């Protein structure tokens, strides 16, 4: 009889342990946030046009050669443009910047040191230049159509 009581108490104790470990199965917690979207000029990673080739369009940095009297760059040549735009770290943390180019010939354009990645400390900025190598490219297509700057802590 004592064995049965001990056995029943053991089963009840085990069941209580299983039930007591599941304190809750769902949590719904609401928190306040304040996140604003800013133009490229005043965001955490700020962009500033520093040449005639760069400007803001709808708050975003844009690079184009449309405003020139020529219709493009010279064939089979390397065109270097200094100080096209600058990037400033407006955040409170050091960031590591890299670039991704998309288009028909992304390897034909170099954006300088940012190609290998560069670290910017808070308040620090970097000037971005471009080297465009049109060797072997035809005049029918664009070289790149977009680029993305990635900033990581």
Residue 32, in any domain of the structure: no
pLDDT band at 21 (very low <50, low <70, confident <90, very high): low
Over residues 93-111, mean pLDDT: 91
CATH code of the domain covering residue 73: 2.60.40
pLDDT band at 143 (very low <50, low <70, confident <90, very high): confident
What is the reported pLDDT for 24? 57
Per the CB < 8 A criterion, the answer to whether 146 and 103 are in contact is yes
Q: Write out the residue range of the structural domain in which residue 130 sits.
A: 45-152
Residue 31, in any domain of the structure: no
* Residue appearing with tokens 């800013």: 38
Q: Is this prediction's pTM over 0.85?
A: no
Q: Order of strands, edge to edge, in the sheet holding 95-102?
A: 118-120, 95-102, 146-152
Residue 74, in any domain of the structure: yes
What is the reported pLDDT for 119? 96
């Amino acid at each position: 009889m004592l064995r049965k009581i001990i056995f029943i108490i053991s089963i009840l104790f085990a069941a209580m342990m299983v039930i007591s470990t599941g304190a809750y199965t769902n949590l719904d917690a609401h928190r306040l946030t304040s996140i604003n979207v800013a133009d490229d000029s005043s965001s955490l990673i700020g962009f500033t046009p520093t040449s005639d080739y760069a400007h803001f369009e709808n708050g975003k940095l844009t690079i184009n050669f449309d405003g020139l009297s020529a219709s493009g760059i010279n064939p089979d040549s390397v065109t270097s443009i200094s100080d096209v735009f600058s990037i400033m770290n407006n955040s409170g943390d050091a960031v590591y910047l890299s670039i991704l180019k998309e288009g028909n010939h992304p390897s034909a354009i170099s954006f300088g040191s940012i190609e290998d990645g560069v670290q910017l400390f808070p308040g620090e900025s970097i000037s971005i230049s471009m080297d465009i190598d049109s060797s072997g490219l035809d005049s029918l297509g664009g070289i790149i159509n977009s680029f993305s700057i990635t900033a990581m802590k």
